Amino acid sequence: MRVLGVDPGLTRCGLGVVDGRPGRATMVAVGVVRTPSDGPAGERLVYLEQQLGGWLDRFEPDVVAVERVFADVNVASVMTTAHATAIALLTAAKRGIPVHFHTPTEVKAAVTGSGRAEKAQVTTMVTRILSLSQAPRPADAADALALAICHLWRGAAEGRLTDLARAARR
Amino acid sequence: MRVLGVDPGLTRCGLGVVDGRPGRATMVAVGVVRTPSDGPAGERLVYLEQQLGGWLDRFEPDVVAVERVFADVNVASVMTTAHATAIALLTAAKRGIPVHFHTPTEVKAAVTGSGRAEKAQVTTMVTRILSLSQAPRPADAADALALAICHLWRGAAEGRLTDLARAARR
């Protein structure tokens, strides 16, 4: 399965493509889409849609994994994050690619074993899991890869739970 | 000047087109785009983009006025509202149409004279200002018209302030 992880944002939108299956994960691509923070909001969204569409068309992921953001932090940044999330949903839906959301806690737990891990620990584990020679930069890029790994890992865990539940009913 | 007012939402997105100038306002069109609340998020955004794009192409407004939403209310509804707002920004930017935001307080003040007016009072004044034979329904449609009127009214007020400032400098 191929997953495109998206760490949504307008100033920096992290993107990471990972191929994997239970216990395996290989990085295919990583990058960041940047738009000028003083640019017109609409034009920034148009640019993000173009770039994100380009990644979807080039890497053809089976699923897109996006960070689920809560409105308990800075109001202004939550709004632009929500706008970027909408563009991810829109561009994926236009191509018939399903989108799944994962909370920061789920992502941290998936790659470090603890939902309360520090950001640096997540980056360290992403680098280790993907056998990268150096840590992905900036943090948004590492977060996007962590999201993709989380989706592969959790999907596997949920699959196993389904199997166990099925076995228990027999 | 022609303004498309947008009361952003995914379950109901109010749209109202108003032609006007200082002290004048004529309704051109009013409506609501609805998407099923249990539908996939991405598909709802694709549909909203199509419908909103259709309104922009058909009525060719000079400007789009959108309600500025704050994250101090229900978190889940703020997120879907932000997604709808992103679609409004995107579709307008693609057509080179500027988007302006107005707060609920600004809208209420513009059409009723009080920023703390009740919703029913806003609907009453929208109906009166536009000389409609009956109140626009649902509330989202009336709100979209109020937004468009607000933009025409405030734009005029800001224009007058600019004129006064210019005159004072002479």
Taking the C-alpha atoms of residue B30 and residue A16, their distance in angstroms, rounded to an integer, is 43
Taking the C-alpha atoms of residue B115 and residue B6, their distance in angstroms, rounded to an integer, is 19
Residue A7 among the catalytic residues: yes
Shortest CA distance to B40 belongs to which of B78, B80, B71? B80
* Length of chain A measured in residues: 170
Q: Specify the pTM.
A: 0.87
Residue B106 among the catalytic residues: no
Tokens read off for B162: 């600019």
Domains, chain A: 2-163 (3.30.420.10)
Catalytic residue among A43, A60, A62, A67, which? A67
A40/B93 CB distance under 8 A: yes
Q: Which residues of chain B have pLDDT under 50?
A: none
The DSSP-derived string for B4-30 is EEEE--SSEEEEEEEEEETTEEEEEEE
Taking the C-alpha atoms of residue A76 and residue A150, their distance in angstroms, rounded to an integer, is 27
Closest residue in B to A81 (Cα–Cα): B82
Least CB-CB distance to B82: which of A43, A79, A90?
A79
Q: Which of A10, A43, A44, A45 is best to mutate for the B interface (most B CBs within 10 A)?
A: A45
A contact set with B (CB within 8 A): 40-43, 45-46, 49, 69-72, 75, 78-79, 82-87, 89-90, 92-94, 99
B chain contacts of residue A99, beta-carbon cutoff 8 Å: 41-42
Residue B167, pLDDT score: 63
pLDDT grade for A166, boundaries at 50, 70 and 90 = low
Closest residue in A to B101 (Cα–Cα): A41
Taking the C-alpha atoms of residue B107 and residue B154, their distance in angstroms, rounded to an integer, is 9
What are the pLDDT digits (tens) for A74-130? 666 788 899 999 999 999 999 999 999 999 999 999 999 999 999 999 999 999 999
What are the pLDDT digits (tens) for A8-55? 999 999 999 999 987 799 999 999 999 999 999 999 999 999 999 999
Residue type for position A39: G
List all residues 6 or more positions away from A95 whose beta carbon is below 8 Å from its beta carbon. Answer: A53, A56, A57
What are the pLDDT digits (tens) for A122-163? 999 999 999 999 999 999 999 999 999 999 988 755 655 555
Taking the C-alpha atoms of residue A67 and residue B104, their distance in angstroms, rounded to an integer, is 30
What are the pLDDT digits (tens) for B151-167? 998 875 565 555 566 66
From residue A84, how far is each of A27, A44, A153, B87, B110 by CA, in Å?
23, 9, 25, 10, 31
Residue A67 among the catalytic residues: yes
Shortest CA gap B77–chain A (Å): 11
Beta-carbon pairs below 8 A across chains A and B: 77
- Are the C-beta atoms of residues B32 and B63 closer than 8 Å to each other? no
Least CB-CB distance to A79: which of B71, B92, B93?
B71
Taking the C-alpha atoms of residue A124 and residue B57, their distance in angstroms, rounded to an integer, is 50
Least CB-CB distance to B99: which of A42, A46, A90?
A42
List all residues 6 or more positions away from B68 whose beta carbon is below 8 Å from its beta carbon. Answer: B101, B102, B103, B104
From residue B107, how far is each of A37, A65, A141, B67, B138 by CA, in Å?
27, 38, 41, 8, 17
Least CB-CB distance to B71: which of A71, A85, A93?
A71
A chain contacts of residue B93, beta-carbon cutoff 8 Å: 40-43, 45-46
